[in-house]
Amino acid sequence: MPVKHDLCQDLNRSHDEIQGRRAQDPHLDALIDKYANLDKQVLQAEAEARSDEELKKLKEKRVNLKDEISQRLVAPS
């Protein structure tokens, strides 16, 4: 069964902290929106039992995006 990824939990950050940083950093805000959209695509692909290769590519994109968000969060605001 597909499971939505909780970005706050994955990054070990509070929701308030991330929302505060989003408000200060438009690029971070856009990255997080992109992550949420990509997570929905992964969930949909899992639910539709799409090919393993397609699902793997989506998951790799999601991981790379999460890494970019994480790096952005540790950078000085």
Q: How many angstroms separate the CA atoms of 44 and 2, rounded?
A: 8
Residue that the structure tokens 């990824």 belong to: 5
**29: nearest Cα among 39, 21, 17, 40:** 21
Supply the pLDDT for residue 5.
81
Single pTM value for the model: 0.88
pLDDT digits (tens, 9 = 90+) for 13-52: 999 999 999 999 999 999 999 999 999 999 999 999 889 9
Q: What is the pLDDT of residue 1?
A: 60
Provide the token pair at 52: 């393993």
Residue 9 pLDDT > 80, yes or no?
yes
Instruction: Give me the residue spans of the domains in the chain.
Output: 27-77
